[in-house]
Amino acid sequence: MKTFNIAIIGCGTVGGGVAQILNEINLSLTEKAGRNIRLKKIIELNPSVAIERFGLDKDLFCGGGKNLTREETNKYIDEVLNDNDIDLVVETVGGISDFVYYLCVNICRSGKNLVTANKALLAERGKEIFEAAESKNVSVGFEAAVCGAIPIIKTIKESFTGDEIISVSGILNGTSNYILSRMFDDSLTFEDALKLAQEAGYAEADPTLDISGGDAAHKIIILMKLVFGIDVTMEEINYQGIQNITSTDMEYAKEIGARFKLICFSKKEGDNVFGGVCPMMVKNENLLSGVNGATNAVRTINRYSGKHVLIGAGAGSSETASSIVADIIFIARYNDLMIKTLPSKKIIFKGLNHFSFPYVISFETKDRPGITGLVTTEIGKQDVNIYTVTHNRHVQDKAMFSIETQPCTLSQIENAIVEIKKRDVLLGDPKIYPILY
């Protein structure tokens, strides 16, 4: 049986987990791959922690388990890239620095397959990496970059090849989903729910990337590339976070039979692909509304086979490591038969502000007679049909209410708000949230 040799660069929480799996169930993995799976080399600046935590042999590490300098690390990386016996390199260094970018490009240019969980790198600088892989007819495995252990990448690339995906949407950030779930179920403020997420280990000390929608934007960019063959940059995509959602917003969601979720959404209509990330009120009849806690979910709507929902753990060291190992085994067995790239398509990317959603618009106004009528009239003048209006909440001298519209574009709503502001009745900018059925 031919041997398939692997090197790991970066042996922290995820890289160490990969090494542990490759060692502990090696016989099973070899049977699945049809090739002798062998972890040949590991490069890590400070290997002692990984050796103890994951039970790894120090002889696997370049330098024999000793701490490495940057110069020594670069020397060992060159040795790996020039080692003709190594078939695949796992990058678990992380980040989007020039060092990591050129590392991934050079792995592919050296004729070696690459597996990475680096969603930010693939979303922001992935085009050249995939081009380098294509030029050498090697594969890039990135299942772990989107939704951890959920096999959405392989499902799209392999299981749905006999169908056409019309739209893909989902809950792709577990931290935000945990916070919103606690806010909704336990009537917590955003600040209190965030604190609980940090105490539970779901949120970092600096949670900005998760709660701002940036992490989710990286993931939907990767999925749009995979599903629709379109390259979108972080500068082009609109993404919003959950920082400004309040308990009052949660009450409005409950009134219309919905739950708040940070939703990644993309849909193809003709030659246009719409995409973005923002908080949405997801109707209870949509399965995504019932996905709570730190769980992730992805929903596709296909032309022939209809709706599909994949649900599971979207993060975690062991979950991410298992997805990386799955890529390794898949490439070892099927690399020569794999579809490396999607054909280029002439399509136009548009933000979600151009897509027609039903919306909930919540207002804080001066408490005067006829305010609701004034607001609804201006909205109607923009050819927006109103589905329902909630009852007014009166607090001292202000009124609060929300309006649920029929599908329309965000620009129609914004035009109406411009006119409403001229009437000097608003006490603040209205909040606008799409509704997802």
Active site residues: 219
Amino acid, res. 418: V
Q: Please give the Cα distance from 400 to 363 (Å, whole number).
A: 6
DSSP state of 155: I
- Pairing assessment for the beta strands 386-389 and 398-405 based on DSSP bridges: antiparallel
Q: Is the separation of the CB atoms in 296 and 319 below 8 Å?
A: no
Q: Which two tokens stand for residue 234?
A: 């972080």
Question: By C-alpha distance, which of 242, 241, 240, 239 is closest to 190?
Answer: 242
| Residue 26 burial (10 A CB sphere; 0-12, 13-18, 19+) | middle
Question: By C-alpha distance, which of 226, 115, 113 is closest to 161?
Answer: 226
Q: Please give the Cα distance from 288 to 130 (Å, whole number).
A: 31
Tokens 């607090």 map to which residue? 395
C-alpha torsion 42→43→48→49, nearest 10:
-80
Q: What is the largest CA-CA distance in the chain?
A: 83
- Pairing assessment for the beta strands 431-436 and 393-395 based on DSSP bridges: unpaired
Q: Which are the contacts of 170, defined by CB distance < 8 A and separation ≥ 6?
A: 147, 263, 264, 288, 296, 297, 298, 299
